């Protein structure tokens, strides 16, 4: 495996009967970076993460993680990774400190340094006041910080996070990401799955999965510049009827309403997308203002997950 990559996968697939949960996935994850998996539920994000940490055996393909082939050498790999699931999986009837001490025991963290490491994590993850609180009585954000503290207790080189912020408030999500950036700056590689667009924009690189297939891969700004689509923003007096009119126009691939604005995706093969939109709305006597705008990551997601018939519209 190349020395600058923490993860390299080629043709990675997982089938459950006739269901292809992951289909021929190629993946390169640079070291000391935050790499995101973006996709809806059922797109293959969790299955991929479980294959990469050795919990699932691939049907086809191979992966090298931190220089170890998985699943052949999963046992050697596991002490070097941290894994945090979407669902809180620690012990609710144990205190914060007891959970941390239990994880330290599992990873055989040196006993002489264990107390200092627990105190360090309590401080770093703002859990000092909760040290004697039962984990089951904590708020969602507190549970999330405890789960992350447990996942990094043993100083893993690679941190695998499976939709870790799905059950917390926006402030807790921001704090969580601040912690991730600090970890990456110190050299930890982070692979995080999400279905939040704002979180995906924070990743250094990003793969978009759709029905088990990787449909895009790159830095967020690179993906936003290469959608293959014009993005026309429309501000209409009657956005509902404007959306109905525009989606029927030949050449319009997608129309999304955001409040009083519409975002219209039109293939780059169309020479004058604003004129196409304006003419269609004038024909229906719907007053509006239209302009070309940069693509958002949500526009990218819509564009790369379109069905062929939408692109041929």
Phi/psi of residue 54, each to 5°? 90, 5
112: buried, middle or exposed (CB in 10 Å: 19+, 13-18, 0-12)? exposed
How many Cβ atoms sit within 10 Å of the Cβ of residue 248?
12
In this predicted structure, what is the pLDDT of residue 2? Answer: 47
pTM: 0.90
Q: State the distance between the two ends of the chain, measured CA to CA, in whole angstroms.
A: 43
Domains, the chain, in order of start with CATH, read 5-223 (3.40.50.300), 227-311 (3.30.70.980)
pLDDT of residue 307: 63
- Quote the pLDDT of residue 259: 86
- CB atoms near residue 250 (< 10 Å): 9
pLDDT in tens, the chain (313 residues): 446 999 999 999 999 999 999 999 999 999 999 999 998 888 999 999 999 999 999 999 999 999 999 989 999 999 999 999 877 778 989 999 999 999 999 999 999 999 999 999 999 999 999 999 999 999 988 999 999 999 999 999 999 999 888 777 888 888 999 999 999 999 999 999 998 898 999 999 999 999 999 999 999 999 999 999 999 999 999 999 999 999 999 999 999 999 889 999 999 999 999 999 999 999 999 999 999 999 999 999 999 988 655 555 4
The 3-state secondary structure of the chain, one letter per residue: CCCCEEEEEEEEEEEECCEEEEEEEEEEEECCCEEEEECCCCCCHHHHHHHHCCCCCCCEEEEEECCEEECCCHHHHHHHEEEECCCCCCCCCCEHHHHHHHHHHHCCCCHHHHHHHHHHHHHHCCCHHHCCCEHHHCCHHHHHHHHHHHHHCCCCCEEEEECCCCCCCHHHHHHHHHHHHHHHHCCCEEEEEECCHHHHCCCCEEEEEECCEEEEEECHHHHHCCCCEEEEEEEECCHHHHHHHHHCCCCCCEEEEECCEEEEEEECCCCCHHHHHHHHHHHCCCCEEEEECCCCHHHHHHHHCCCHHHHCC
Degrees, nearest 5: CA angle 51-54-60:
45
């Amino acid at each position: 495996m190349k020395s600058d990559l923490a993860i390299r996968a080629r043709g990675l697939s997982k089938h459950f009967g006739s269901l292809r949960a992951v289909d021929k996935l190629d993946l390169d994850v640079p070291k000391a970076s935050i790499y995101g998996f973006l996709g809806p539920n059922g797109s293959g994000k969790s299955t991929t993460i479980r294959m990469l940490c050795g919990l699932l055996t691939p049907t086809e393909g191979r992966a090298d993680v931190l220089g170890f082939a998985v699943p052949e050498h999963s046992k050697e790999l596991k002490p070097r990774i941290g894994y945090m699931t979407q669902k809180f999986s620690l012990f609710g009837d144990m205190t914060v400190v007891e959970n941390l001490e239990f994880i330290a025991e599992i990873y055989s963290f040196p006993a002489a340094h264990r107390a200092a490491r627990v105190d360090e994590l309590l401080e770093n993850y703002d859990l000092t006041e909760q040290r004697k609180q039962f984990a089951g009585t904590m708020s969602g954000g507190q549970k999330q910080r405890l789960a992350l503290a447990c996942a990094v207790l043993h100083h893993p080189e690679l941190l695998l996070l499976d939709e870790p912020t799905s059950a917390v408030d926006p402030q807790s999500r921001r704090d969580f990401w601040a912690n991730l950036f600090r970890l990456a700056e110190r050299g930890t590689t982070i692979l995080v799955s999400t279905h939040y667009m704002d979180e995906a924009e924070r990743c250094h690189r990003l793969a978009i999965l759709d029905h088990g297939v990787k449909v895009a891969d790159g830095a967020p700004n690179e993906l936003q510049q290469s959608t293959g689509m014009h993005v026309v923003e429309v501000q209409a007096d009657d956005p509902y009827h404007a959306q109905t009119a525009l989606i029927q126009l030949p050449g319009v691939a997608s129309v999304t309403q955001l409040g009083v604005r519409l975002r219209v995706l039109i293939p780059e093969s169309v020479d004058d997308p604003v004129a196409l939109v304006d003419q269609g709305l004038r024909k229906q006597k719907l007053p509006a203002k239209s302009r070309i705008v940069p693509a958002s990551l949500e526009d990218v997601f819509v564009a790369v997950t379109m069905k062929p018939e939408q692109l041929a519209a």
